[in-house]
């Protein structure tokens, strides 16, 4: 083999290697691009799955007590107790009557009960005091299922009465606290006056 032939063969080999390197680089670039799209697709799928796991939001919610909630959905009434990690679900189609009764001994702490279509009665909530949000929930429930009976029929009046009782109870508590403070102040003044007068007599 002559020197010229050898140089020509070496040049061809170098060109082949350069072409192979270019092909590998292009394949790697395309692979990364496809991989990036695949990862992005996986992230989108995970995001959709997270949204599905979040679940639907309630149409109305009533928070009361220590970690307790009433939640109204399109076809379900849910009573949640986060403190006890318990949940009661009732299908709206199975509810015949909603009963609201004053609590004992505090009438402002309401008791919520349901009469079901199987003849049973369930106490759903006790000590419910969030009248404002319960009014909103009751309005949505009446829109969704107007066939559900209310006991008493004038439930809004009972809610207003419970709110008034609670307001009076709060005013009574404030009055007792203010009265106790005033009494302590009067006692302090009397003791200070007697102490000053006794010191003056001794001197």
Q: What is the CATH number of the domain that holds 70?
A: 2.30.29.30
Domain end position, chosen among 38, 55, 72: 55
The per-residue pLDDT for 34 is 46
> Is residue 98 included in any domain, yes or no?
yes
H/E stretch holding 183: helix 155-202
More confident residue, 158 or 27: 158
Q: Say if residue 71 is in the same domain as residue 150.
A: yes
Residue 173 within any structural domain of the chain: no
pLDDT at 85: 87
The verdict on 123 and 85 lying in the same domain is yes
The least confident of 86-100, 130-144, 185-199 is 185-199
88 lies in the same domain as 133: yes
Claim to verify: residue 129 and residue 147 sit in the same structural domain = yes
Q: What percent of the chain has pLDDT over 70?
A: 63
Query: Bigger pLDDT: 135 or 106?
Result: 135
Name the pairing type of β-strands 60-64 and 68-72.
antiparallel
Both tokens of 8, joined, read: 């020509």
- On whether both 37 and 115 belong to a single domain, the answer is no
Q: Could you tell me where the DSSP H helices lie in 55-154? A: 131-144
Q: How confident is the model at residue 158 (pLDDT cuts 50, 70, 90)?
A: low
Residue keyed to tokens 């309005």: 139
Answer whether residue 187 is part of any domain. no
If DSSP codes are grouped into helix, strand and coil, which group holds residue 106?
coil
Q: Is the pLDDT of residue 182 over 80?
A: yes
* pLDDT of residue 52 exceeding 60: no
Cα gap 75→36, rounded to integer Å: 42
The answer to whether position 181 is within a domain reads no
Burial class (CB in 10 A: 0-12, 13-18, 19+), 61: middle
The answer for residues whose C-beta is within 8 angstroms of residue 106's C-beta and 6 or more apart is: 169
d(CA 73, CA 8): 82
- pLDDT value for 110: 87
pTM of the model: 0.54
pLDDT of residue 77: 96
Q: Which domain holds residue 156?
A: 60-164
- 126 and 46, same structural domain? no
134 vs 14: which has the higher pLDDT = 134
62, β-bridge pairs: 70
């Amino acid at each position: 083999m002559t020197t010229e032939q050898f140089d020509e063969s070496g040049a061809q080999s170098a060109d082949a290697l350069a072409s192979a390197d270019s092909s590998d680089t292009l394949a790697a670039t395309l692979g990364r691009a496809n991989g990036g799209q695949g990862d992005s697709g996986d992230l989108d799928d995970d995001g959709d799955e997270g949204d599905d796991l979040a679940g639907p939001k309630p149409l109305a919610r009533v928070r009361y007590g220590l970690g307790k909630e009433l939640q109204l959905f399109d076809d379900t009434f849910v009573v949640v107790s986060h403190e006890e990690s318990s949940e009661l679900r009732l299908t709206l189609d199975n509810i015949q009557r909603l009963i609201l009764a004053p609590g004992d001994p505090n009438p402002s702490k309401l008791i919520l009960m349901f009469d079901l279509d199987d003849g049973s009665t369930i106490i759903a909530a006790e000590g419910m005091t969030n009248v404002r949000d319960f009014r909103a929930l009751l309005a949505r429930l009446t829109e969704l299922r107007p066939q559900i009976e209310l006991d008493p029929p004038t439930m809004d009046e009972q809610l207003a009465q419970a709110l008034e009782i609670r307001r009076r109870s709060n005013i009574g508590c404030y009055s007792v606290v203010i009265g106790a403070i005033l009494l302590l102040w009067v006692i302090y003044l009397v003791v200070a006056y007697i102490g000053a007068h006794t010191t003056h007599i001794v001197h």
